Structure 1
Amino acid sequence: MGMVLGLAMIPVVGLTTAAPASAWTYEARHCVGDRVDRCVSLRRNSNGTVYARGSVSDDKDRPGEYSVRVLEVSYSYVRDGNPPSGTTVLRYGDTGWDESSEWLPTRALPVPCGTSVGASAKLEWLDEQSPTKKRTTGWVHASGVIC
């Protein structure tokens, strides 16, 4: 009992806590697909840090049976200035085939308010019911202005 009380009274200095997942908000999002949902989104937290996330999923409520994977996700932005400077964040990361859904985020970077940002995801899906196991690759894009 005395040990627990002693620990409770130790001051904590310099400890930082990660922001909860709900602190990330969508700045832009675009999804397509009638049997396989394919999406890319730009997300920002209150500190102005931005990342892109690509996702693909087989909607089991719709016809067909698909395996899915994410091949690449990127986002880029250009800052105002003379001359303008741009940054592209790219993540290759074949997530491997999955029977239901996959997602892949880029790393997060600080992006100032008022900056135009574009995101892209390269996604793949495989028709498991096709005799040739037809593979399709597609891109999804989204863009927005941060803040």
Structure 2
Amino acid sequence: MNKTVIAAVALGVVAFAGPASAEKLKATLDGKSEVPATTTSGTGTADLDYDAASKKLSWTVTYSGLSGPATAAHFHGPAEAGKNAGVALAIPNATASPVKGEATLTDAQAADLLGGKLYVNIHTAANPGGEIRGQVTK
């Protein structure tokens, strides 16, 4: 009887193990993280899920308090905090918060993402180089 219970428990564990879950990452956006820093009262967050098997990145970016409507949003990199870099990945339809989207990353983009070398930047007419920014971290 004990062998039957152990076997059943073992099978149950295997049945419920399932695939690995997506890696959770985030960014906290503000003007002081911009380079150069802005004096905006705007803030935001980016909540990210990354599935290494499919290289699929999904995001929800929320923001408020900007100097005006958002004109664009991007993931920039590779760059560490305090350094600027070019656009690595566009965030479409960022003119209203929240912004949801997804993309399949290249190997290089995935390495930069997991290495902490991407940041999220929200642009406005008053701050075309970026009004709020946040480094993506685990």
TM-score using structure 2 length: 0.43
TM-score using structure 1 length: 0.41
Structure with higher Rg: it is 1
| Larger RCO: 1 or 2 (CA < 8 Å, sep 6+) | 2
Q: Going by fraction, where is helix more abundant, 1 or 2?
A: 2
